[in-house]
Amino acid sequence: MDASHSSCPFCPFSDPDPSFVAEHIEYCYPENGAHESVPHPLPRSSPPPQSDSEESTDKYVDCPHGCGEIVTTAELSTHLDLHVAEGIALDESRSAESPLDAGSVVSDHELSDPEDSFDGATARKGEKRGLGRDFANTKSSKPGRTRSPPRTVGPDGAKRLGRAELGPHAHEKKMPSWLKKMLEKGGSSSKQTQITADGKLTRRTTVDNETDHLIPVIAKLCEQDSSVQRAFLCSPKVRHVCKMSREGGFCGYRNIQMLVSYLKKSQSPGHEHFTNGVPSILELQDKIELAWDKGFNSTGRTETGGIRGTRKFIGTPEAQALFMSLGIPCDASSLSESGTLRAYDSLYMDVATYFRSGCSLEDEKRVYKTDLPPIYFQHQGHSMTIIGFEIRDNGSANLLVFDPMFKTSPAMHRLIGTSAQSNNPGRLLKAYRRGTSYLQKYKIFELLKLCPVDMATNPNQ
């Protein structure tokens, strides 16, 4: 471990900012010995000796914070770190419109390693179509996931995937009835009164696991963060959709919902397929199964054993199959290590090129706001929605993401519709940044991009 990093005495969590480590300990391991009730997580079960055709079951653990999420042991530290970020309260940010946000804050800190520099002039390398799996009907394994010993091989030659690819519920026939009812009901809604930047009152409806109007807040925080040399953001017409409590591994569906929220609000081609709003997880499962019926990435049915009514993970091929079956233009690609170029460098360059295509760099801005769609982003075991890209003063880079695993912090909620003034913008942005320390753990990434709409042909943009 880097000597400059403080660490938690109860679990592997560490961070260069001691205040975040202190908050982590207080948040997950309270005082008065309460941390004893939250033991260091152990595997969910100790499997018996395995044959070559059996899978290990010790990869996933319950989040010790109690959010109900099942995560891999490798991701536990990052997961707990982001729980701290999502819990930032009102007294840790300051809105110019309200004295309620005033309070002491800890100074900002550098979130990326100085040696991890981003060279925007480096040629893009390492890009391959389909990650060894043709996104349009190939017979190899699930892209971006380590393949387990195959259990069955379908008539199309596709191999059945296991826990490593489909998650801890890879072989269940149907999800619990309580979970199905919860997904059918969806997040609860409420109405809130908000003071806008011009001092007017506005009434808006909110859904517990959905947050709109976050992109403008993130843009303002990037402008205030002195460590940001340049930042790019996607269209503000995308909503952050996160999981509900105890929901489980539905990240892929939540990211599809975020892309659909953009399609709906921007009135982009294909939005007419979602007349009833953003579809539920159960509705998305039906749409993906229907896409397979129509022949779009249909080997996914054999590989997953079918997803309708289950908690199996989905990935880029399922998202692509859904959009393609609805005639929504999209482009899927994979990025991996090539020669001396690391996988995350290829990812940085691809994403930077994408966002630069949506703006004029002659304007010499620090923060560029574009009308580009967000990007579906997949790595081993998890997916997010890329909503921007940063280059820092020290030469490092960050993806800016909406992570469906974590909810919007109270502090960020309070800044929506205001001038979003903060004494510590970097602290609030931490939940949205994914830099080299996070990405270097993965050897392959997948991106699914909706094809941008020509502004001239879409006056609603």
pLDDT of res. 85? 63
Q: Which of 29-43, 150-164, 351-365 has the highest mean pLDDT?
A: 351-365
For residue 115, CA distances in Å to 20, 118, 339, 437 come to: 22, 9, 20, 11
Question: Looking at this protein, which amino acid is placed at residue 65?
Answer: H
For the segment 376-396, the average pLDDT, to the nearest whole number, is 95
Least confident of 156-160, 344-348, 389-393: 156-160
pLDDT of res. 23? 59
pLDDT of res. 158? 75
pLDDT at residue 212 greater than cutoff 90? yes
- 167 or 63, higher pLDDT: 167
pLDDT of res. 362? 75
pLDDT of res. 34? 36
pLDDT of res. 150? 43
- Indicate the SS3 state at residue 412: helix
pLDDT of res. 110? 32
- 33 or 333, higher pLDDT: 333
pLDDT of res. 453? 63
pLDDT of res. 159? 86
Cα maximum dimension of the chain: 67
pLDDT of res. 42? 28
Distance CA 161, CA 180 (A): 23
Distance CA 139, CA 437 (A): 33
Query: Is the domain 127-457 a CATH 3.90.70.130 member?
Result: yes
- 107 or 343, higher pLDDT: 343
Kindly indicate the confidence band of residue 223, based on its pLDDT and cuts at 50, 70 and 90: very high
In 3D space, the residue among 118, 122, 85 whose CA is nearest the CA of residue 392 turns out to be 118
Whole-model pTM? 0.73
pLDDT of res. 331? 95
57-81 per-position pLDDT tens digit: 446 777 776 676 777 777 777 777 6
pLDDT of res. 7? 72
Q: Which residues contact 324 (CB under 8 A, 6 or more apart)?
A: 291, 296, 297, 330
- What percentage of the chain has pLDDT greater than the value 70? 65
- 108 or 339, higher pLDDT: 339
- 364 or 375, higher pLDDT: 375
For the segment 35-51, the average pLDDT, to the nearest whole number, is 31
Kindly indicate the confidence band of residue 457, based on its pLDDT and cuts at 50, 70 and 90: very low
pLDDT at residue 103 greater than cutoff 60? no
pLDDT at residue 447 greater than cutoff 50? yes
CA torsion 90→217→187→276, rounded to 10°?
A: 160
For the segment 308-326, the average pLDDT, to the nearest whole number, is 96
Distance CA 272, CA 405 (A): 28
Answer positive or negative: Cα dihedral of 212, 85, 224, 368. negative
pLDDT at residue 379 greater than cutoff 70? yes
Domain ranges of the chain: 6-86, 127-457
For the segment 347-373, the average pLDDT, to the nearest whole number, is 92
Q: What values do phi and psi take at 254, rounded to 5?
A: -65, -35
Q: First CA to last CA across the chain, in angstroms?
A: 48
Kindly indicate the confidence band of residue 129, based on its pLDDT and cuts at 50, 70 and 90: very low
pLDDT of res. 459? 42
- Indicate the SS3 state at residue 100: helix
